[in-house]
């Protein structure tokens, strides 16, 4: 497609006249309109790769603009489309003031704090009727869109609330953000309006983006919010255009030719103008319904396409908002209820591997213990070697750890900015760490590497024995994970220096799960496992690895070891399991 540059002109310039006329108002308006149309068409072609006009129509527009500038030379400016190469677009992040300040929100973190806010609002407004507008709090990047006479003229980041960075060209690449508003008879386009919203990176697209970055040798993003911010703050808008950013709008700032009496009416108008709004905003009648809404999305945080870290509650009536006013940083008529964090940072101390019951070798991260989503976590799966590379994590990294409700903890990615240079890359083992057998892929295209020694690999056996004890199998409560390890793989915790101590290796009492139901007490009398035990009787200070009896108490000079209570219960449950019908 032909696009005008400094070197080419599709229409020959007209012959100059003896007199150079001065551009009148009509010519200036025509020039401004043509220049804006051409810039938009160039942007669509060069940046978004989606041409919006034919070659012939584009050449006609350029020809008319060239003719105007030849006739009225004062119209020819350095930033005119006739003076710039068509594909030259870059974002400079120039600081620009918002027309109306973008305020922050105060936060509450539990129902008691939320109820205190409700009480303050209700006491302040007295008998005035109040409705509550609830919105999902998107964990994204706040952006302010300025539309003048329906045309998108500027997009700014929040910045400090008074001044943001100009990211107009990058925002124009975001799918769903119209360059021009469309009005209706009920909702005509205002003369001027600032539209506030959140730019976010869809959760499903995040993993794919990071995988591509790592494959290209680039640093991955720690989370979807960082991905959104990093994608929007690109000097080359073509990079932004290549990423599936989205935006949902939720409010209005400065405005001329538009007024509302309730905050929720802004949602109706925004949607009527062609802007993307959230389908989850609701107007509720009382605080009880608000609490129910908060509880619902607390359990369904992952049913929406974007990261969600809370619920925003606003007084819907504009008159009441004005009477409540604002503090120096936040409105008194709105609050953000923040859910407990599902993402925290911690240090990745090591990456180790586990061999499962089918021989699958799974790497997992060992981390500094950290509390997330209500529980303390020190380990998280990394699925396979490809997953480790895709996430771009190194041993020693500060990492982002995510735990959503009852979901297994997941390592999201590294915080690359905090690397100090001592971090090391993880290398998948070539031989089984439990039995020494060479690892292999089961078939071409597999991502999981396996130990083929199903018969005698102690790691696979302990996993199968533990599986037999599960509720879905024989339901043997006394046969927990540690007991399965003691029976099938008692040397799994053996320290590397044990060989130099002359400590012999302990042979497992089970070499097959088929022997589980023929075990006797005598078989278990000498079963020992490795434990970290205190060096002193007061059980304080440093620990040392020691092999201790598992199923029996420790023998003394005065009495032999005796079966532990759990050991006796294990044999009772094994006997019961023998009588269980196999089809239960």
Show the beta-strand stretches assigned E in 431-500. 440-441, 449-450
Give the angle 433-435-440 at the CA atoms, nearest 5°: 70
Select from 146, 145, 117 the least CA-distant residue to 132: 117
User: Please, which residues have CB within 8 angstroms of residue 424's CB and are 6 or more apart in sequence?
Assistant: 394, 395, 396
What residue has token string 């006013």?
A: 325
CA distance 352 to 363: 5
CA dihedral 34, 38, 41, 42 (to 10 degrees): -170
User: And the tokens for 224?
Assistant: 């979807």
218 catalytic? Reply is: no
CA distance 305 to 205: 10
User: And the tokens for 216?
Assistant: 């290209």
**Residue 386 belongs to what H/E stretch?**
helix 385-391
159: region left, alpha or beta (phi > 0 left; psi from -120 to 50 alpha)? left
Query: What is the phi/psi pair of residue 163, to 5°?
Result: -130, 130
In the 8-state DSSP scheme, what is residue 462?
A: H
User: Please, which residues have CB within 8 angstroms of residue 319's CB and are 6 or more apart in sequence?
Assistant: 128, 261
Sign of the four-CA dihedral 379, 381, 384, 388 = negative
**CB neighbour burial string for 450-479, b if at least 16 within 10 angstroms, e if fewer:** bbebeeebbbbbbbbbbebbeeeebebebb
Show the beta-strand stretches assigned E in 316-444. 334-338, 343-355, 361-372, 375-381, 398-402, 410-414, 440-441
CA distance 570 to 527: 15
Out of 48, 137, 391, 403, pick the active-site residue.
137
Catalytic residues: 137
């Amino acid at each position: 497609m032909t696009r005008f540059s400094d070197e080419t002109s599709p229409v020959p310039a007209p012959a100059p006249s003896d007199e150079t006329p001065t551009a009148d108002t009509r010519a200036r308006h025509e020039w401004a309109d043509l220049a804006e149309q051409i810039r938009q068409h160039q942007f669509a072609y060069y940046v978004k790769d989606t041409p919006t006009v034919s070659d012939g129509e584009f050449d006609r527009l350029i020809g008319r603009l060239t003719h105007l500038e030849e006739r009225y030379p004062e119209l020819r400016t350095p930033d005119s489309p006739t003076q710039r190469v068509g594909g030259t677009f870059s974002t400079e992040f120039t600081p620009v003031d918002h027309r109306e300040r973008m305020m922050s929100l105060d936060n509450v973190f539990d129902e008691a704090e939320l109820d205190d806010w409700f009480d303050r609002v209700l006491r302040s407004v007295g008998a005035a009727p109040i409705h509550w507008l609830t919105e999902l709090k998107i964990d994204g990047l706040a952006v302010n869109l300025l539309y003048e006479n329906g045309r998108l003229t500027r997009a700014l980041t929040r910045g400090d609330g008074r001044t943001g960075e100009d990211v107009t060209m990058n925002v124009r690449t975001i799918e769903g953000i119209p360059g021009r508003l469309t009005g209706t008879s009920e909702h005509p386009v205002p003369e001027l309006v600032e539209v506030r919203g959140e730019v976010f990176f869809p959760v499903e697209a995040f993993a794919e983006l990071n995988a591509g970055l790592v494959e290209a040798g680039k640093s991955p993003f720690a989370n979807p919010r960082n991905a959104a911010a990093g994608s929007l703050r690109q000097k080359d808008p073509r990079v932004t255009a290549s990423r599936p950013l989205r935006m949902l709008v939720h409010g209005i700032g400065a405005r001329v030719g538009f007024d509302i009496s309730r905050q929720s009416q802004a949602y109706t108008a925004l949607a009527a103008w062609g802007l993307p709004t959230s389908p989850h905003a609701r107007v509720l009648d009382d605080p009880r319904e608000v609490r129910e809404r908060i509880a619902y999305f607390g359990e369904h945080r992952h049913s929406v396409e974007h990261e969600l870290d809370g619920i925003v509650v606003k007084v819907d009536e504009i008159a009441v908002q004005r009477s409540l006013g604002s503090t120096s940083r936040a409105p008194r008529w709105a609050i953000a209820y923040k859910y407990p964090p599902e993402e925290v940072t911690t240090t990745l101390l090591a990456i180790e591997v586990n061999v499962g019951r089918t021989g699958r070798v799974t790497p997992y991260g060992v981390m500094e213990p950290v509390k997330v989503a209500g529980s303390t976590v020190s380990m998280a799966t990394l699925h396979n070697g490809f997953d480790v590379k895709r996430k771009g994590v190194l041993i020693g990294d500060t990492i982002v750890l995510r735990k959503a409700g009852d979901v297994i903890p997941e390592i999201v990615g590294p915080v690359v900015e905090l690397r100090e240079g001592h971090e090391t890359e993880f290398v998948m083992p070539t031989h089984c760490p439990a039995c020494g057998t060479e690892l292999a892929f089961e078939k071409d295209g597999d991502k999981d590497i396996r130990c083929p020694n199903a018969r005698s690999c102690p790691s696979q056996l302990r996993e199968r024995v533990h599986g037999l004890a599960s509720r879905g199998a024989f339901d043997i409560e006394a046969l927990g994970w540690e007991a399965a390890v003691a029976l099938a793989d008692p040397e799994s915790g053996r320290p590397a220096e044990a060989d130099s101590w002359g400590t012999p290796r302990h042979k497992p009492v089970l070499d097959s799960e088929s022997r589980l139901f023929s075990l006797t007490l005598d078989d278990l009398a000498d079963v020992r496992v490795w434990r970290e035990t205190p060096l002193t009787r007061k059980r304080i200070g440093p620990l040392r690895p020691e092999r201790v009896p598992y199923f029996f108490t420790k023998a003394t000079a005065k009495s032999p070891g005796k079966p532990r209570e759990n050991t006796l219960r294990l044999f009772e449950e094994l006997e019961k399991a023998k009588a269980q019908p196999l089809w239960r």
